[in-house]
Amino acid sequence: MRKGIEIEVTADRTRLEAIVADRNGPQKHVWRARVILATADGCGTAEVMRRAGVSKPCVWRWQERFMAAGVDGLLHDRTRPSRIPPLPQAVVETVVTRTLGEAPPDGATHWTAPAMAAASGLSVSSVQRIWRTHGLRPHHVRSFKLSSDPNFAAKVEDIVGLYVDPPAHAVVLSIDEKSQIQALDRTQPGLPMKPGRLHHDP
């Protein structure tokens, strides 16, 4: 047996055996309990490894854990520190500020994670983590994009004027196009004319 390892399981044997017998329990708990039971039975490291089906470092680790924390120590994994270092607060604030107040490049309607990552020198996952932390969802933000036509304002006034003050006895109709779709031709033949049905020549 490994030197310095002394395990007594008189009070815990029933609980350990129940863990081993539980077919619905996590297998990692089963082999950890087997490590302790075999050790308490006086088995050497090689035999403990055979009974539990684990490596020598695993045997030693869970022997020490049981000695320090008992059966409860076998049922809980220690929380490992994150390998991802936290971003500097200044970097986080810059991403948030740009997302909320700066127009995206290339005339895009909203920031995307890849675009912000390229603009900020960060990874896409870092940008997504910042947005998630601050509740930002740029793809859900709708904005109105003004035309670059120098006569845009005057044209808007003409259109709005029809709605606000239409000519006497006139009917004002609004027809809008569907973006990205062009009606080049009918996919179905037109219906024959009959009373009460409007006809439109393409």
Q: For residue 123, give the nearest of 85, 156, 163, 149 by alpha carbon.
A: 85
Within the chain, residue ranges assigned H as helices are 13-21, 27-40, 45-52, 56-74, 89-101, 113-120, 124-133, 152-164
* Mean predicted confidence (pLDDT) in 73-90: 78
Domain map (residue ranges) of the chain: 13-74, 81-167
Q: Give the phi and the psi of residue 71 in degrees, each rounded to 5.
A: -60, -40
pLDDT above 70 coverage of the chain, percent: 77
Please list, residue by residue across 31-53, b when 16 or more beta carbons sit within 10 angstroms of its beta carbon and e when fewer do. bbbbbbbbbbeebebeebbebbe
59 in Cβ contact with 31 (< 8 Å): no
Q: How confident is the model at residue 187 (pLDDT cuts 50, 70, 90)?
A: low
Q: Which amino acid is at 165?
A: D
* Choice among 41-45, 50-54, 107-111, 195-199 with the minimum mean pLDDT: 195-199
- pLDDT, residue 49, reads 92
